[in-house]
Every structure is written in C-alpha cells, then in structure tokens.
A and B are shown apart, each in its own frame.
Chain A
Amino acid sequence: GAGVSQTPSNKVTEKGKYVELRCDPISGHTALYWYRQSLGQGPEFLIYFQGTGAADDSGLPNDRFFAVRPEGSVSTLKIQRTERGDSAVYLCASSLEGAGRLTEAFFGQGTRLTVV
C-alpha cells in the first residue's frame, strides 16, 4: 500500500453529465479530505470525513456535489449536472486523526476533471 490513490487520473465529460471520482486512502487512515484546485490557486476545501461520517461539509459549493465513504475507507465524490465551472483538479487526502493526535495529511495525485 503506497499512498493515496485517486481514479481516474483524468476525466473529460460533457456539460450536464454525472461523474464519480474515487479516492483510496492509506490503509488505516480514519480522516479523509476532498479538495479542488483551479489553475493558479491553492487547494479549496470541500468536505472532511472522520470514519464513515462527514464531519465538515461546509466547502461543498452546492447540492450538485455529494460525497460518501460508506465503510470508512474508500470515498467517492459525486457531481451531478456538471458545469464548465466544475473543471478543476480534485484532490483527496487522508491522515491518522484522533483525540489529541495531530498528524500530516497525505495527498493523492488528483483527478483532473474537464467539463466540455
């Protein structure tokens, strides 16, 4: 088990279509984060899972975006009715978190989503 794995690495979709982006975190990491990054900008927070539950989804831009982590491991970010403005690199990160612990986050290589 290497690092955080994201699939696909690239996704091109048509405006209005539905897409799913997958994240396989490092085994045993309880915390999982989704970010998106537009060209020339820093990563923008979307959602944070602690185990199976979303502990903080304040960064999801609207109700077209949804993420799940049903078994506390793999997570899927789902985007409905995609728009051209959703084009970005979507990054996933995982870390060991818990009461009193403060550890580094490990990021995947990202999925580059292009909506045409």
Chain B
Amino acid sequence: DAKTTQPNSMESNEEEPVHLPCNHSTISGTDYIHWYRQLPSQGPEYVIHGLTSNVNNRMASLAIAEDRKSSTLILHRATLRDAAVYYCILRWGAQKLVFGQGTRLTINP
C-alpha cells in the first residue's frame, strides 16, 4: 500500500481557513487521493477525493500538486464541528481504505 505522511496535529481558529497537508511521494498513476475525517466517538466519514485536478465540494476543497506527490485539504472557514482526526488515504479501485494515524485538528473558539 502506498504510504501517506501527515502531521500528527494542527490547530486553527474558528472561522479561519485550514490547510491540512499530506505527502504521498510513492503514489502510483492509478491511485486516487481520498480524505476521511473522524469526529469524536463517530465512525469515519468521507470528505473528498481526487485524482489529478483540484476538487471542490460542499465540505472542502482538495488541492493536488502537479506531480501528485502531495495534496492539501482545505477547509475554507473552520467551525468547532470541524474538530476531528483527518485521514489522507491513497486508494486504487475497490481496494480497502488503509488508514494511517491522521492529523488531529483542534479548532479554537
């Protein structure tokens, strides 16, 4: 399984943008970049995924480097409800999702 590297923790303030980085230097051409997050005492939930182009949805944006060796999840205006562990995962086809340690995001009021 291709590996991803994320900071263990990050902190931000409410109503400010948050940029969560992920390095995946061994990504293959068919790997999609997925982001999931896990709120306290909940199962993980899907946030966004992409292959090459930047992606936007109602939850977040995903910016993918041109060489695809890194990506950034962008929360445009963080709220307290965005406090969670964020996981960056590489996935090809219907393979299992392989979770790392993720980034624990703390939002300050």
Contact = CB atoms under 8 A, between A and B. Distances in A.
Contacts of B94: 31, 50, 55, 97-98, 101-102
Interface of B is mostly: loop
B41 to A, nearest CB: 8
Contact of B43 (A44, A50, A55, A110): A110
Contacts of A48: 96
A106 B46 contact: yes
Contacts, number: 55
B43 A42 contact: no
A105 interface: yes
Contacts of B46: 104-106
B21 interface: no
B97 interface: yes
A45 B96 contact: yes
Nearest to A31: B94
B17 interface: no
Given A42-B101, A56-B96, A93-B97, 11 more contacts: A4-B43, A42-B87, A42-B99, A45-B96, A93-B43, A105-B36, A105-B46, A105-B97, A107-B44, A108-B43, A110-B43
Interface of B: 32, 36, 41-46, 49, 85, 87, 91, 93-102
